[in-house]
Amino acid sequence: MSNIKDQKYDLEERTAKLGEDIIDFAKNLTKNVINVPLISQIIRSGTSVGANYMEADAAESKKDFNHKIAICKKEAKETKHWLRMIVKANSDQQKEARILWKETQELVLIFSAIIRSSHNKK
């Protein structure tokens, strides 16, 4: 995660890196009856941020772009929720989860700003 500062404005790379970091984080969790569904959820939401950003970047219209960016924000917020649940079930993962949560929160704020900016240009 040390390269994030260098790529602060490259959202395609940044959202892809988030997905990769979520995958690495999930790989280190013990597979048990509580973690398995949490892992599944965080993998879906955490990797979806980048996938939806790619779709937004290739949007066919301003309305399509706005919709995809809103989905990016929604998926990032959902990822924060699953990180919280994982820490509840795995208190030893708090430090790594906090780093991921911070990056995810920064992306939520970026997507919120993009949405605000887009709406102000109407």
pLDDT per position as a tens digit, 79-119: 999 999 999 999 999 999 999 999 999 999 999 999 999 87
For residue 7, what is the DSSP state? T
For residue 6, what is the DSSP state? T
Q: Enumerate domains of the chain plus CATH numbers.
A: 11-120 (1.20.1440.60)
pLDDT (average), residues 22-33: 98
Q: pLDDT tens digits, residue range 54-81?
A: 999 999 999 999 999 999 999 999 999 9
Measured CA to CA, the distance from residue 59 to residue 56 in angstroms comes to 5
> What pLDDT does residue 7 have?
43
Kindly report whether the global pTM for this prediction surpasses the value 0.95. Answer: no
Tokens 């979520």 -> residue: 22
Cβ contacts of 15 within 8 Å, gap of 6 or more: 49, 50, 53, 72, 107
Inter-residue contact 43 to 23 (CB < 8 Å): yes
Residue 2 has pLDDT above 60, yes or no: no
